[in-house]
Structure 1
Amino acid sequence: MDLGECPKIHDLALRADYELASKTKDYFYDIDATEHLEAFIADCDRRTTAAKQRLAETQEELSAEVTEKANAVHELAEQIGQKLARAEALGEEGMVEESVKLMGEIDELRKKKAVAEQEYRNSMPASSYQQQKLRVCEVCSAYLGIHDNDRRLADHFGGKLHLGFITIREKLAELKKTVDKRREERGASERERTGGRRHYTQPLSQQKQTRSRSHRSSSKERRRD
């Protein structure tokens, strides 16, 4: 999912100014951030649902038994990919012992995956087995194949796109815990600022009508003069 270049200004000096200003005034930007991330994740989830629907329409339909076996292979493959990406990251950070421990877990998962693949292969014709069976990543909506190797899966689960979506989802979950309270605080702040008066913004259509009437009135006065 490519959103293009961010329209916001990313400047460390401005960030420092904001952090300084936010010490004396609450701008409630966390509420705006929550709403923005909610819209972003909702769009991603819609893409995931649409991708699943496309796969259901285009891929050969399997029996419930074969589908269960295919899902078992997928799940083991994803676990291997996730752990392999994590092991590589730990190795780069110098945490060799933890990385080696994860590699041991990966070896065990590979054995289980080999058994699951054999069961899946034996449950269907050879011609059908060769076809790539896809599923959709629940985190970032990317396609994953049942025949993807460990390297391909590790690149996916350790990639910037997938990890970025994890970060966004975790941040959104964190913001949602306080957003209702923060909205109440913002409402109270606005009421205090306006002296308890409701701030009314005239709809755009009414604004145009008002300007039009004002313009006609001014034109009549000029003609009378």
Structure 2
Amino acid sequence: MSAQAQMRAMLDQLMGTSRDGDSTRQRIKFSDERVCKSHLLNCCPHDILSGTRMDLGECLKVHDLALRADYEIASKQQDFFFELDAMDHLKSFIADCDRQTDVAKKSLADSQKEISAEVAAKAEKVHELNEEIGKLLAKAEQLGAEGNVEESQKVMDEVEKTRIRKREAEEIYRSSMPASSFQQQKLRVCEVCSAYLGLHDNDRRLADHFGGKLHLGFIEIREKLDELKVFLLSFSSM
């Protein structure tokens, strides 16, 4: 995006469709059914997941930062309850994603050999520690990027402790099954974004996953859906 386009977008977001007396842009209102209400509330999956491997392409409804600004100004004076439209949109999207996750998990289970529940639990423990390491590394990198070196180092200390626990869990898992079966249960499906995670993923792969735009985008969408549910529940109980 050029500097001029960025400036126009900033003005749209700040001033809405009426900036510079541009009457041609006022033909469609933010309340129009053609406008994406999730976009007005800054939670449309098409925006959040843009540029990821699950890029949804362009939303079928209108996205315009100026219309969002109009809505934000008007909503200070009146409740429009667009939260209901956005909640329905996000519920449908997450339900589809969760169905895909279930399909991926079933496919994975079908492709892997039967092992005992005890061994499966040991493999699951390694996966859990992998996830913990990935999340901690992503947090440490974020703190470092923000200049909070001391806190970042504290998190890295936790990473080292977790790595020790992971090595111990791997040894327990490895010793519980024949070498020929050791690679079984090496994959799992991320419950948040449905990506595959490997039992033997290295730290870089884990940090890239848990600190990546796709995983964080799904967290943002799921958290926004929870917020909308709480908001609408508070109104229904009044």
* One-letter amino acid matched to 2:81: F
Using the alignment, how far apart are the partners of 2:139 and 2:82 within structure 1?
33
1:184 shift after superposition = 8.6
* One-letter amino acid matched to 2:113: E
Q: 5 Å matches for 1:6-155? A: 6-131=59-184, 133-155=186-208
* One-letter amino acid matched to 1:37: L
CA 1:172/1:125 → structure 2, altered by over 3 Å: closer, same or farther? same
List per-residue Cα deviations over 1:88-143 (Å, max 9, x = no partner).
01100111111000000000000010111111111112222145611111111111
TM-score with structure 1 setting the length: 0.76
Does the 8 Å contact 1:90/1:96 carry over to 2?
yes
Say which SS state the counterpart of residue 178 (structure 1) adopts.
helix
Aligned to 1:157: 210
1:182 shift after superposition = 4.3
Does the 8 Å contact 1:69/1:116 carry over to 2?
yes
1:56 shift after superposition = 1.4
Using the alignment, how far apart are the partners of 2:152 and 2:234 within structure 1?
42
Does the 8 Å contact 2:185/2:199 carry over to 1?
yes
Using the alignment, how far apart are the partners of 2:213 and 2:197 within structure 1?
16
Using the alignment, how far apart are the partners of 1:183 and 1:47 within structure 2?
32
Using the alignment, how far apart are the partners of 1:37 and 1:171 within structure 2?
8
- Identity among equivalent positions (%) equals 67
Using the alignment, how far apart are the partners of 1:67 and 1:142 within structure 2?
20
1:62 shift after superposition = 1.3
Q: Return 5+ residue gaps in structure 2 as ranges.
A: 1-53
RMSD, aligned CA: 1.8
Using the alignment, how far apart are the partners of 2:237 and 2:179 within structure 1?
61
TM-score with structure 2 setting the length: 0.72
Using the alignment, how far apart are the partners of 2:99 and 2:61 within structure 1?
25
Q: Does 1:176 align with 2:237?
A: no
Does the 8 Å contact 1:38/1:172 carry over to 2?
yes
Say which SS state the counterpart of residue 188 (structure 2) adopts.
strand
Aligned to 2:30: none
Larger Rg computed on CA atoms = 1
CA 1:13/1:178 → structure 2, altered by over 3 Å: closer, same or farther? closer
* One-letter amino acid matched to 1:119: I
Does the 8 Å contact 1:140/1:162 carry over to 2?
yes
Question: Which is worse superposed, 55-64 or 101-110?
Answer: 55-64
Using the alignment, how far apart are the partners of 1:180 and 1:32 within structure 2?
14
Say which SS state the counterpart of residue 144 (structure 1) adopts.
strand
Using the alignment, how far apart are the partners of 1:180 and 1:79 within structure 2?
33
Aligned to 2:24: none
CA 1:3/1:183 → structure 2, altered by over 3 Å: closer, same or farther? farther
List per-residue Cα deviations over 1:151-200 (Å, max 9, x = no partner).
11110000011001111111111111132454699xxxxxxxxxxxxxxx
